[in-house]
A and B are shown apart, each in its own frame.
Chain A
Amino acid sequence: MKRGRGLQRLILGVVVFDLLFLALPTLVIVVASFTAGKIVAFPPEGFSLRWYQAILDKRAFVDAFLRSAYVATVCTLVSLPAGTLAALALARWRLRHALAWQLYLLLPFTIPLVVSGLGMMLLFGRMGMLGMLWPVGLALTVINLPFMIWGVAACVNRLDPDLENAAANLGAPPLHAFVTVTLPAVMPGVVTGGLLMFILAFNEFIVSLMLVDARTVTLPVLMYNSIRSTITPDLAALSVVYILIAAVTVWLLDRLVGLETFLRSR
């Protein structure tokens, strides 16, 4: 019993340390964003919301934010059907060379993002699509699709493989069975994957950097460009915007799927 106590304390200590360690950079940025001074500093000088006002006033930031939202939306809309169907196909049909397919679909993970970005830059250049915004969303779909597939696959693999047979047995033709049984049953995975795709696309930097120009710059790229000149507290305020978006996503996930389900599926 005594030893159990000691172990518990140790675990508690490690957990507290981990939590602090994980949260510290975020906390520092959040606190710093409320500075009244002209440079990013910790601890901040005084307290004000002036830098939040500043990012709202700066047209470039707002536009870049909207572009990022657009890109993330395109990416999510494309990956929802693509990833869901791919995951279902992999799990349900005894595909010939299923393993090869799986590897193929995971390919984007095995290649450095810089290389993927370069490839797409060349491809989009050839097709005359550089400088357009929606192809960026498409590119982000390609590099992040494995996340979507995983999200759905985790859900499909937990399902009873007889679910569709049951639907057929109860009188549902195949398409009906798919719409009324298969799809709703994997919905938690679809929602999880979709939110993940959205947030990943919203944050994506490397590939975007290679595909956007001054007119189509997205928020992470714009931030990077700003950092290269001067680090002003408005960047800290922008970071807080990102934290908020992540928080909203997690909240949505909890409302739609239940965090418990999500965490259990990992």
Chain B
Amino acid sequence: MQPRDGQTAEKAPPMVRVEKVSKRFDSVLAVAEVDFTLETGAFLTILGPSGCGKTTLLRMIAGFIEPTAGEIWIHGRPVRDLPPYRRSIGMVFQKLALFPHMTAAQNIAYPLRMRGFPRDEIAGRVERYLRLVRLEGLGGRRIHELSGGQQQRVAIARALVFEPDLLLLDEPLAALDRKLRQEMQLEFRRIQKELGVTTVNVTHDQREALVMSDRVMVMDAGRIQQMAVPETVYHRPENRFVAGFLGLTNFLPGQLLESRAGRARLRVGALTLAGTIADPSILPGTRVEAALRAERLRILEEATGEGWEVVEAEILEVVFEGERLVYSARAEALGEVPLRFVDADPLRHRRHRPGERVRLGWRPSDLMIFRADPEAPTRIGQPEREDNG
């Protein structure tokens, strides 16, 4: 951009800026000081457990509810006084909210009619967007004459047809079966790339978040826990919550012994283990938890390789999950906490039986040390279920 009036080059404002936004419902703080910006064309997925405030945040951006505190900016303009119908935001609702008394094509034409587009342009655009979501020829159907996946696509076309500045998706895929959902995820990504529309997607399906987004925002109890690219969120979680929410994670409770330049040692049960630590403010002596992803832990058949941490363990349980086996085992030296690990190639490996003794190993760089979650002592050591359902 050209410098204006001799000033330094001015950057185009971000598409969305959410500035310290909070929302309180009576006694519930649904969204707490959420603060982030989203550049034009980005695809952000908000990931978090039920009730963490995802929908509330989306509704504030769409303008259906007002923040209790903070400011939302779209295109560098505060939107506090802008009603939803003037915001140029397309939204796909959790239950779709398609108009039942209209056909698919009439639903898609609705935002164009509201904007006073000429008749033939409406017809042309509706055709184009029906094709984009692969519904050619079905425009004349009533909503209840379409399958769940087809309705989904009508909702997507309706939210996109007027080329909004911003697209908001409130778990629109949650109601679909797994296979269709995975297809729709890729489809969505394709359409979003094709149109380049800035998108905020909400889900509590971590796989969807990792597959679809350029950026993932993990929320809990109304607060942002981490916002980064999917790989970073998965491989370098910033806190215990994020580490536990994504993937199948084992937690080993212990005490920090020393910490220097991202490396640390901690005491777990009778052992002293080495690991990585992201937060330099944790002092030795603090109660910590070491997170170890199930896929980083494995059975060592041969003699110890260089750089492996090894413990003896007894297999407790084996679960067949199709493409992989999930074991749980108890390593006495690490305490009573069951450790879960996966065999990603079960056909090539001998299947271990419950009661068998094995040697489990991992690399110290895979052990991530976090401050123990003070609010959830009961959760310590219980790896959370992975949500692929």
CB proximity of B148 to chain A, nearest CB, Å? 14
Does A176 sit within 8 A of B, measured CB to CB? Answer: yes
- A173 an interface residue at 8 Å Cβ cutoff? yes
B77-110: CB near A (< 8 Å → 1, else 0) gives 0000001111101110111111111100000001
B215 at the interface (CB under 8 A from A): no
A162 interface residue per 8 A CB criterion: yes
B64 close to A159 (CB less than 8 A): no
Tell whether, in the assembled complex, residue B101 and residue A169 are in contact, meaning their CB atoms are under 8 Å apart: no
B319 lies within 8 A of chain A by Cβ? no
Question: Are the CB atoms of A160 and B162 closer together than 8 Å?
Answer: no
Complex Cα distance, B114 from A173, in Å, reads 9
> Closest Cβ of chain A: how far from B155's Cβ, in Å?
9
A-chain residues with CB within 8 Å of residue B93 when the two chains form the complex: 160, 162, 165-166
B349 within 8 A of A: no
Which partner residue on chain B sits nearest A158 by CB separation? Answer: B100
Q: Is the CB of B11 closer than 8 A to any CB of chain A? A: no
Question: Is the CB–CB distance between A171 and B97 below 8 Å?
Answer: no
> Contacts A165-B84, A170-B158: A160 and B64 contacting too (C-beta < 8 A)?
no
Q: Does A172 contact B (CB under 8 A)?
A: yes
Q: Does A187 contact B (CB under 8 A)?
A: yes
Inter-chain contact A162/B95, CB cutoff 8 Å: yes
* In the bound complex, CA of A138 to CA of B87 (Å): 45
Quote the shortest CB–CB distance from B113 to chain A (angstroms). Answer: 8
A45 to B48, CA, bound (A): 80
Q: Does A184 contact B (CB under 8 A)?
A: yes
Query: How many Å lie between the Cα of A160 and that of B155 in the bound state?
Result: 14
Q: Which of A168, A173, A185 contacts B99 (CB 8 A)?
A: A185
Q: Counting CB contacts under 8 A, is B115 at the interface?
A: yes
Given the complex, which residues of A lie within 8 Å of B100, measured CB to CB? 159, 185
Are A168 and B96 in contact, CB atoms less than 8 angstroms apart?
no
Q: Which residue of B lies closest to A170 (CB)?
A: B111
- B52 proximal to A (CB < 8 A): no
- B89 touching A169 by the CB < 8 A rule? yes
Which chain A residues numbered 131 to 172 have a C-beta less than 8 Å away from chain B?
159-160, 162-163, 165-172
Distance in angstroms from A94 CB to nearest chain B CB is 12
Q: Is the CB of A173 within 8 A of B101?
A: no
What is the CA–CA distance of A259 and B158 in the complex, to the nearest angstrom?
31
Q: Are B84 and A169 in contact (CB under 8 A)?
A: yes
The docked-state distance in angstroms from the alpha carbon of A177 to that of B64 is 14
A167 to B63, CA, bound (A): 13
Could you tell me if B64 and A168 are in contact, using CB atoms closer than 8 angstroms?
Answer: yes
**When the two chains form their complex, are residues B110 and A165 in contact, meaning their CB atoms are under 8 A apart?**
no
Min CB distance A43 to B, Å, is 49
- A176's nearest neighbour on chain B, judged by CB, is B114
Q: Give bound CA distance, A162 to B91, whole Å.
A: 11
Q: Which residues of A contact B95 (CB under 8 A)?
A: 160, 162
- In Å, the complex CA distance between A162 and B95 comes to 8
Question: In the complex, how many angstroms separate the beta carbon of B238 from the nearest chain A beta carbon?
Answer: 33
User: Which among B83, B94, B110 has the highest number of chain A CB atoms within 10 Å?
Assistant: B110
Q: Which residue of A lies closest to B158 (CB)?
A: A170
Measured between beta carbons, the chain A residues less than 8 angstroms from B130 are none
- Whether, in the assembled complex, B62 has its beta carbon less than 8 Å from a beta carbon of chain A, the answer is yes
- 1/0 per residue, CB under 8 A from A, across B139-160: the answer is 0000000000000000000110
Contact B110 A170 (CB under 8 A): yes
Of chain B, the residue at the smallest CB distance from A173 is B85
**Contact bitstring A164-194, B, C-beta under 8 A = 1, else 0:** 0111111111001100110011010000000
Chain B residue contacts of A180, Cβ below 8 A: 110
Near B by CB (< 8 A), chain A positions 182-210 give: 184-185, 187
Partner of B97, one of A162, A172, A176: A162
Residues of B within 8 A of A176 (CB): 114
Give the chain B neighbours of A160 by CB distance below 8 A: 93, 95-97
Interface residues as binary, B212-225 with A (CB distance below 8 Å gives 1, 0 otherwise): 00000000000000
Collect the chain B residues with CB atoms within 8 Å of residue A163's CB: 97, 99
Docked Cα-Cα span, A181 to B110, in Å, equals 10
A171/B101 contact (C-beta < 8 A), A165-B64, A166-B93 known: no
Most buried by A among B63, B90, B97, B114: B97
Known: A170-B158, A172-B85. A165 touches B114 (CB 8 A): no
Indicate if the CB atoms of A171 and B115 lie closer than 8 Å: yes
Residue of A nearest to B84 (CB): A168
What is the chain B residue whose CB lies nearest that of A188?
A: B101
A185 to B110, CA, bound (A): 14
Can you list 26 A-B contacts (CB < 8 A)? A160-B93, A160-B96, A162-B93, A162-B95, A163-B97, A165-B64, A165-B97, A166-B91, A166-B97, A168-B64, A168-B85, A169-B62, A169-B64, A169-B87, A169-B89, A169-B90, A170-B110, A170-B111, A171-B85, A171-B114, A172-B85, A172-B114, A173-B83, A176-B114, A177-B85, A181-B99
Q: Which 4 A-B pairs have CB atoms at the shortest separation, nearest pair first?
A: A171-B114, A170-B111, A166-B97, A162-B97
Residues of A within 8 A of B (CB): 159-160, 162-163, 165-173, 176-177, 180-181, 184-185, 187
